[in-house]
Amino acid sequence: MRQRKIIHVDMDAFYAAVEQRDNPALRGKPVIVGGDPSSRGVVATCSYEARAFGIHSAMSSARAYQLCPHAAFVRPRFDAYRAVSLQIRELFHEYTDIVEPLSLDEAFLDVTENKPGIEYASHVAREILQKIFQRTRLTASAGVSYNKFLAKVASDVKKPAGLTVVTPEQAEEFIAMMPIRRFHGVGRVTEKRMLARGIVNGSDLRQCSLEDLQRWFGKSGQYYYDIARGVDRRAVVPNRVRKSIGKETTMDEDCADKGEMILVLDKLAKKVEALLSARNTSGLTLTLKVKYDDFQNVTRSLTQLEPIENAETMLSLAEKMLDRTEAGIRPVRLLGLTISNLTTDIPVDETAQMELPFHLN
């Protein structure tokens, strides 16, 4: 199989950096985004200034307060983070459509084939980091390698605003020097048990036989064995997301009465509004679809600066667009309304099952 070229992009101290960008008073100061120190909340992200005090994510906010009482505690603003996340994902798609977002601030990109046709993945990564900064005034770090595991570890090497490349030739040495806690999938307990067996870094891990690793760590043994050799066959799997949400209806009889068409559009707008609100989303573009009695289809679109989410707005835009068609002059058999340029990611295979809110404060 051909060698893959994979980039892992990770925004630096993402939530905290957005807060510092949007509020100059927070710049250069320890900023903790997360729960209130008086609550049972935890730190979601903290700025590099706060990390100097030993604060890290997932620590209780109360503990963070003890370590650094003068830090600014900020409640998360997910809308702002999501907006940036959309911006950077759009940027990724200028290079490749094989983008696997891991969270709002982290993604794998497979740039083996990339849209601009750039030969070196490291050049792609460099460009992406520069453009992220130009467009968002935020910094990110990237890791470039031939598999996901190495790319992910590499992105963490020179944080913040760092770029680390691990070529197949460098992989062995890179892994050998790596402390085992940095291996993805080695938690605190496993780390302790590895250290107890004298496994301190990748080189030690590589000395272990598959049998021993399985004996000591069970099923994970195979994984540790592989990654110690730089083997990770997982592909970058793009999260396929819905591009639009809409509804259309075929009239009982072909219709040439614009008033009647507007009544139909009003019903459609209300249905689309319900579909959007059920998914807690909105979109910037509304498209009207008209099918004439001879089955010819036309569409008209309008893009707004503010996200469209309510039926009233949709109807007034739809009426304007209807005037730009021959509806009424020619009889119409079908009308449809669709919202696109969605402001949130809606998975294609939308499992409507919601998640228990373990992560909300």
| C-beta of residue 71 within 8 angstroms of C-beta of residue 30 | yes
CB of 309 to another protein, least distance (A): 16
Residue 106 is a catalytic residue = yes
Measured between alpha carbons, how far is 255 from 322 in angstroms, rounded to an integer? 13
Measured between alpha carbons, how far is 10 from 29 in angstroms, rounded to an integer? 22
CB of 272 to another protein, least distance (A): 15
| C-beta of residue 336 within 8 angstroms of C-beta of residue 268 | yes
| Phi (first) and psi of residue 30, to 5 degrees | -65, 120
CB of 211 to another protein, least distance (A): 6
Measured between alpha carbons, how far is 327 from 343 in angstroms, rounded to an integer? 31
| C-beta of residue 166 within 8 angstroms of C-beta of residue 244 | no
CB of 59 to another protein, least distance (A): 13
Cβ-count burial 72-92 (b if 16+ within 10 Å, e if not): bbbebeeeebeebbbebbebb
Q: Which is nearer to another protein, 222 or 296 (CB)?
A: 222
Q: How far is CA 142 from CA 12, 44, 94, 228, 316, in A?
A: 10, 21, 17, 21, 45
Which spans of this chain sit near another protein (rule: CB under 8 A)?
40, 187, 189-190, 193, 210-211, 214-215, 218-219, 222, 278-279, 351-358
Task: Give residue for tokens 């609550």.
Answer: 39
**Which of the residues 106, 127, 191, 248 is marked catalytic?**
106
Measured between alpha carbons, how far is 48 from 29 in angstroms, rounded to an integer? 9
Q: Which is nearer to another protein, 176 or 346 (CB)?
A: 346
H/E element holding 103?
strand 99-103
What DSSP character marks residue 160?
A: S
Q: Which is nearer to another protein, 40 or 243 (CB)?
A: 40
CB of 349 to another protein, least distance (A): 8
Q: How far is CA 74 from CA 22, 30, 78, 329, in A?
A: 12, 11, 12, 58
Q: Which is nearer to another protein, 238 or 331 (CB)?
A: 238
Within 10 angstroms of residue 335's Cβ, the number of other Cβ atoms is: 24
CB of 279 to another protein, least distance (A): 7
Q: Which is nearer to another protein, 52 or 274 (CB)?
A: 274
Helices (H), 243-283: 258-278
Q: Which is nearer to another protein, 196 or 305 (CB)?
A: 196
Query: Which residues are the active-site residues?
Result: 106
